[in-house]
Structures are given as C-alpha cells and as structure tokens.
Structure 1
Amino acid sequence: MSAPEDDRLDETRRHLLQLAARFPDDADVAYRTACVHDRLGLEAEAVPFYERCLAGTGLSDEDRRGALLGLGSTYRVLGRYARAVETLRRGVAEYPDDGGLRTFLAMALYNTGEHHEATRILLELLATTSQDPSVQQYRRAIALYAKDLDTTV
C-alpha cells in the first residue's frame, strides 16, 4: 500500500506529463515535471525535463538555481559524474554565492577523483559560512589552508 503523499505525487506527475506534452517549450512546466520525477526517485526520467527547462527561457532565478542543482545532483546519482561536474560548475559560475551548488559540486568532484578541489571548496564554504565558534576562531587558517592543503609549516 502506498503512502497518501506518494499517491498525490503520482497524480501530480501524470498531470505534469500531460502539461509537458502540451507545452513542450514551457520551461516552468519542464522544471516542475523534473522535480516531481526526482521526488519519486525517477532520476533518469527527470533528466530530459531538467535539460529542457535549462535550454529554455522563463525560469525565475530561484528555479534556475534549483534546476542546475537538481540536474547536477541527478547526474551524480546516476553515476554520470563528468556531466554532474560540468552542470554544477555552470551553476557555481552563475551563482557563485550559492553554498548548495558548491557543496554538490564538491561531492561530484570527489566522485571524479578530484579530492583536492572538492576539499578546497568545502573548506572555503566552511570558513565563510560556519557559525561554530571554534571554526570562527580558526577561520583565517582554514581559509589559508583551503588555498593550498599541501602547505606545511
């Protein structure tokens, strides 16, 4: 027996698939369709809708960020690591202050063996966003080492 939320998501998915077929150039409909597929664990089916919405115009800034993160994360889940890195780098280039995009980029870089860059990104993010008092105390050192983890005293 499925949960009521799953039933609603399935119903929403069916409705959005109909809308996407009727309005193939509507970026917002494509984005919503991608999201519902992701929420249902249908990542492979989400990809073409993410790609469609990003190729079009009309997404709000917030939805564009979400689509870049969603597509990059979905590529990563599907094991398409190089595409994940490419998509998430594009997202970070467009939205350099978005910590979520940078975090997901670090994870994808880890998957491609780029451990140094992944760690650098996460350390920079930690140094600039953490409210932890002990991190704040060492913020300058963390930021310095993030630039060159191989630096020794």
Structure 2
Amino acid sequence: MTGADDRDASLARAVRLREDGLREESRELLVALSARFPDDAEVAYQTAWVHDALGLEADAVPYYVRAIDGSGLTEDDRRGALLGLGSTYRALGRYSDAVATLSGGAVEFPEDNALKTFMAMALYNAGRAHDGMRLLLTVLAQTSSDPDLVAYRPAIEHYAKDLDAIE
C-alpha cells in the first residue's frame, strides 16, 4: 500500500469511527495521521471536527486553521471548516475572531444560512445584538415556509432593516 493509499484508508477508518460514536479512537488515529501529513487540509479538518465532537474546542482550533489555510478541501468541507472554526471561537469566548471567521465564510458562501445564523450568535456575543438580530430576521424572512411567518414576511423584512423604526 502506498503512502497515499494508507492515508486514504486511515482517514476513512477515522471518519467511520467518529460517525460510529468511537470519537476517542478516531481522535487518536487522526492526531497520528495529522502528524504524518501536516500539510493535508482534509486530515486537519477531520482532526478539528473530532476534537470539537469531544468538547475539546481549544485543541480543535489549530487544526481548523491549518485546514482553512491549506488547499484541497472540497467546497462543503471548506464551508464546514469555516463554520466549525467560527463556532469554536464563539464557544471559547473569542467573539471578535468568531465574527471575523463567520463573516468571511458568509462572504465566501453567501447562500449558506447556517454560517449567517452562527454569525448572528457571534455578533450578539460581541455586543452587537442589533446587527445579529437584523441578520437573523433577514435569514428567517428569506427562508421560512411557516405560513404564520410568510404572512408577515414584508413586516419582518422591514423591521430587519430598522428594528428601531416607529411607525
């Protein structure tokens, strides 16, 4: 088996372990794999993910950064890495880093409402509740199919632009 084949088989095994709930075993395999392939963005992303799944957010950060700074991630994995890093920064109380990461992700992937939703939470935590509420109301108005909300979509969109408006 070549190095690339071994990497692929080990990575697939580690992902399966995580998905099967064997997160610590997955983490051990991924940490070793990451040490062998330090420039591999996909391995770094999966290593970050398993650390997050184990509640080891601070340990996940350098792997997320390595994944995002590297090349070779699929579009979905890059999106997931940006959301994961931004969410992890928020969980660690690093609110300005969270806002910056999630804002960059939302610019790169403007159709991703999960990024926008997590950015709204980070904006709130960063003391920018007005901006967060505006963003969250906009996402809600644009995506909800709830008939009770659809009926009020124009009003929600109006107030999303100016929550302090007095009619």
Letter of the 1:35 counterpart: W
Runs of 4+ in 1 over 4 A off after TM superposition: none
TM-score (norm 2): 0.87
Matches within 5 A, 1:48-59: 48-59=62-73
- Shift, 1:145, TM fit: 1.1
Between the aligned partners of 2:29 and 2:129, the Cα distance in structure 1 is 42
The residue aligned with 2:6 is none
TM-score (norm 1): 0.95
**What are the ranges of 5 or more consecutive residues in structure 2 without an aligned counterpart?**
1-19
How large is the Cα RMSD of the aligned pairs? 0.9
The residue aligned with 2:27 is 13
**What are the ranges of 5 or more consecutive residues in structure 1 without an aligned counterpart?**
none
- Shift, 1:141, TM fit: 1.2
- Shift, 1:151, TM fit: 1.3
Matches within 5 A, 1:1-153: 8-153=22-167
Name the % identity.
59
- Shift, 1:128, TM fit: 0.5
Between the aligned partners of 1:94 and 1:140, the Cα distance in structure 2 is 27
Letter of the 2:163 counterpart: L
- Shift, 1:25, TM fit: 0.4
Letter of the 2:131 counterpart: E
Between the aligned partners of 2:127 and 2:26, the Cα distance in structure 1 is 38
Letter of the 1:30 counterpart: A
